[in-house]
Amino acid sequence: MSNVQNSLQSEYEERIDKIKRLLDAGIEVYPSKSHRTHTISEALSDFEKLEKEEEIITLVGRIRSKRVHGNLTFVDLEDATGRFQIAINKKELVEKKMYKIFEKLIDVGDFVEFTGNVFVTKAGEKTLLANNWKLDSKALRSMPSDHFGLKDEDERFRKRYVDLMLNKDLRNVFVRRSLFWRSIREFMEKNGFLEVETPTIEVTTGGAEARPFATYHNDFDLEVYMRICIGELWQKRLMASGFEKTFEIGRAYRNEGSSPNHMQEFTNMEFYWAYANYEDGMKFTQELYKFIAKKVYNKTRFETRGHVFDLASEWKKIDYVEEIKKQTGVDVVNASENDLVGKLKELGVKYEGVSKERYVDNLWKYCRANISGPAFLVGHPAFTSPLAKRRKDSSEQVERFQIILAGAEVGNGYSELNDPIDQKNRFKEQQKLLEAGDDEAMMPDWEFVEMLEYGMPPTCGFGVGERLFAFLEDKTLREVTLFPFMKPKKIQDTCVANENKNSKDTEDNFLQEGELLVTLEQANKLVDEHISDDTLKLHSKESEAIMKGLAKHFKKEEKDIEKWGIIGLLHDLDWDTTKENPAEHSLKTAEILKDFEASDFLIETIKSHNYGYKSSEELKDKKRSTRIQHALASAETLTGLIVASALILPTKTVKDLKLKSLKKKFKNKKFAQNCDRDIIMECEKIGIPIDEFLEIGLISLQEVAEELNI
């Protein structure tokens, strides 16, 4: 344990002892009620009156500092409204013994209430002279100082309560955030919109293109999803039912990557306006944004992300297709997928996805970074907007607008598609993208199409979220989120060989490895003799590569790295002859290796990868128990997922597969369904988190990609 840890532990134990001493003195440590008469801001604003009338008041809050001068102690007390100085004089206390108790047993960070009169010190400080004090809550951990605070960003978000406690400016951000949403609600209601609530759990996640969080409805025995937008398809149903102006402010959930500007859970507002189109929406949202700026900040000019914009200035219109063409020379409407991929590589743009829509979107993101705004982006290609109405003058473009500020999209709206035939066809295209592996494509909602067949009036829809607030604050989304989701600090080692997982014997058994009695040259000959299928040979080589990568991860010596590779190479030696009868799989390999006089360790390790699933009577009840057994099962299963993910790329090569894309494919259980995710997850039983395991596997195959032509 470090000196710092020792110090913290000692202080913690000291405060525990203080609780015992407080209780022995008859002082309640965690009472259920305080007796505050005034907040600190009220005491400050009414100070002259309170002083003149010598009114007895009680202030409560957290002690932020404590200064002892013999029989006189000063503390700074803080509540949510401000700070106030408290003076505790032994002579003034009703019970004199309470002074010594306060001096010795009350610490900075404790919540205390003080009762007394206010006065002004010789130094001119407004102060409460206490005649009594009462403990409201004892803190067991000390607070960081105001000056040093929490400097580590991860620690700041993980201990957000401490960060907020120390940083009044940060607390004010969330006061403004509340006002931000109140101002939107005020503007919408003032313009005749009805606030509604729509489902957050859905059978299909319509209304946006993003990967959802999946969960399970036990009563209906059905997989369902957390919504990825604020009720778009539901609010359109309301338009069809007779409502003409609705809006909703609520939480949305997207199971996507984390970054300072991307959150998996966030707040958005969406409105729907019958008998209006996207041009009406542009005029309306321009007024909305100016209203928010003036209400929350009392200004319209902002500097953020290296851009300057003024919401009161002219909002120009930028054509989506023409702007990309101007900045990159590419006509995205007529460009092929290869053209788009080539341009992205030429510009050095990192890109994800497997469709033209996704490539165009990545190209646009490169272009929008150069636009300060305020501006309306219009003229989007129809294939990027499956729910927007086509333009009259160009069927390849839609009536859509996005608001561009500081190089980013901070609002999206369009004339809603209400043609049921067109909508059905576009949903079919989205279905094809999903089946091709694009897990961000929109899930078709055929019941929504049925609703359109009953008729929906011309409608404008629009959505904006806390991204706008973050940009107005010039902060990241993470910074303007009270409690951003954090990965657990410690990943527990789940490796167990038996129930006594803490024993030394268990650890030794778990890590136990033996010799193979088979050389790499002999292993390659066995593969050539017993495997005729080229795809299976390739799988064996791929498994060898990942097993070697895992051995390197565990810092094995060179001879052991080769040994792990041989196990991966030989594990499917009998599949040519057992694929029609999976229960016999690995048992035939065991016979081959016995005849070759291979070690029992090698034979048992290879048999272990077929434990349980469609196994023989000999293997079905067995459980993998050693590190190398878990490694083999998870590694050989992972090869299939990596190769399948690469094959849907335009180049069809593992070299071009991105880790982010592989992670998405792993989470999308509909993709490569034969790759058992539970077996891949056995990596965590050997102490490797799944994201790290996917990275090890991908790098291992990329290192041999040219050699194996994958």
Kindly state the average pLDDT of the residues 313-339.
92
pLDDT at residue 8 is higher than 70: no
Q: Return the pLDDT at 431.
A: 82
Confidence of residue 668 (pLDDT cuts 50, 70, 90): confident
Cα(568)–Cα(628) distance, integer angstroms:
10
Task: Identify which has the larger pLDDT, 298 or 492.
Answer: 298
Q: Return the pLDDT at 151.
A: 64
The answer to whether residue 158 is domain-embedded is no
The answer to whether residue 150 is domain-embedded is no
Which region among 440-454, 598-612, 621-635 has the lowest average model confidence (pLDDT)? 440-454
Domain boundary among 81, 116, 137: 137
Confidence of residue 514 (pLDDT cuts 50, 70, 90): confident
pTM of the model: 0.67
Cα(149)–Cα(644) distance, integer angstroms:
48
Sign of CA dihedral 414, 420, 421, 427: positive
CA distances from 377 to 324, 330, 351, 466 (A): 11, 17, 21, 20
Task: Identify which has the larger pLDDT, 507 or 696.
Answer: 696
pLDDT at residue 543 is higher than 50: yes
CATH code of 123's domain = 2.40.50.140
Ramachandran region, residue 509 (left: φ > 0; alpha: ψ -120 to 50; beta: rest) = alpha
Q: What is the mean pLDDT of the chain?
A: 89
28, 69: one domain: yes
458, 592: one domain: no
Q: Return the pLDDT at 593.
A: 93
A 10 A CB-CB count for 70 gives 7
DSSP at 389: P
684, 547: one domain: yes
pLDDT at residue 512 is higher than 90: no
pLDDT at residue 377 is higher than 50: yes
568, 681: one domain: yes
CATH code of 289's domain = 3.30.930.10
Which structural domain range is residue 452 located in?
Answer: 171-303+423-432+445-473
Q: Return the pLDDT at 497.
A: 34
Kindly state the average pLDDT of the residues 71-81.
96
Instruction: Calculate helix-pair angle for 3-24, 97-105, nearest 10 degrees.
Output: 160
Q: Return the pLDDT at 221.
A: 87
608, 672: one domain: yes
Domain boundary among 137, 163, 181: 137
pLDDT at residue 500 is higher than 50: no
pLDDT at residue 10 is higher than 70: yes
Q: Burial, 555: exposed, middle or buried (Cβ in 10 Å; 0-12, 13-18, 19+)? A: exposed
At 97-107, the pLDDT tens digits run: 999 999 999 99
Q: Which residue has the tokens 């989120």?
A: 481
Phi and psi torsions of 296, nearest 5°: -90, -40
Q: Please report how many Cα atoms fall inside a 13 Å half-sphere around the Cα of residue 585, on the Cβ side.
A: 20
Phi and psi torsions of 567, nearest 5°: -60, -45
pLDDT at residue 495 is higher than 50: no
Confidence of residue 492 (pLDDT cuts 50, 70, 90): very low
Q: Which residues contact 327 (CB under 8 A, 6 or more apart)?
A: 366, 367, 370
Which region among 175-189, 379-393, 449-463 has the lowest average model confidence (pLDDT)? 379-393
DSSP at 572: T
526, 672: one domain: yes
Kindly state the average pLDDT of the residues 654-672.
89
450, 519: one domain: no
Q: Which residues contact 338 (CB under 8 A, 6 or more apart)?
A: 650
pLDDT at residue 258 is higher than 90: no
Tokens at residue 56, please? 């007895």
Tokens at residue 29, please? 């440590």
The answer to whether residue 358 is domain-embedded is no
pLDDT at residue 634 is higher than 70: yes
537, 643: one domain: yes
At 382-440, the pLDDT tens digits run: 888 878 898 988 888 899 999 999 999 999 999 998 999 988 988 888 788 777 766 66
pLDDT at residue 183 is higher than 50: yes
Q: Return the pLDDT at 499.
A: 36
Q: Which residue has the tokens 């982010």?
A: 660
Range list of β-strands (E), 264-416? 265-274, 301-304, 307-310, 316-319, 375-378, 400-405, 408-415
Q: Return the pLDDT at 525.
A: 93
The answer to whether residue 403 is domain-embedded is no
pLDDT at residue 177 is higher than 90: yes
Domains: count for the chain: 3
124, 191: one domain: no
> Nearest CA to 227 among 239, 213, 241, 237?
213
Tokens at residue 90, please? 């032994």
Q: Return the pLDDT at 503.
A: 43
Query: Chain-centre distance of CA 6, in angstroms?
Result: 34
Ramachandran region, residue 426 (left: φ > 0; alpha: ψ -120 to 50; beta: rest) = alpha
The answer to whether residue 114 is domain-embedded is yes
Domain boundary among 137, 162, 197: 137
Residue type, 440: E
44, 184: one domain: no
Confidence of residue 350 (pLDDT cuts 50, 70, 90): confident
pLDDT at residue 249 is higher than 60: yes
Kindly state the average pLDDT of the residues 479-492.
76
CA quadruple 94, 97, 98, 102: dihedral, nearest 10: 150
pLDDT at residue 318 is higher than 50: yes
Provide the 3-class DSSP secondary structure of residue 228. coil
Secondary structure in 3-state letters for 318-349: EEHHHHHHHHHCCCCCCCCHHHHHHHHHHHCC
Kindly state the average pLDDT of the residues 226-247.
94
The answer to whether residue 418 is domain-embedded is no
Cα(675)–Cα(645) distance, integer angstroms:
11
The answer to whether residue 395 is domain-embedded is no
At 45-70, the pLDDT tens digits run: 999 999 999 999 999 999 999 999 99
The answer to whether residue 191 is domain-embedded is yes
Q: Return the pLDDT at 438.
A: 66
Kindly state the average pLDDT of the residues 369-392.
89
At 121-160, the pLDDT tens digits run: 999 999 999 999 999 999 999 887 654 556 677 788 888 8
Residue type, 19: I
560, 688: one domain: yes
61, 186: one domain: no
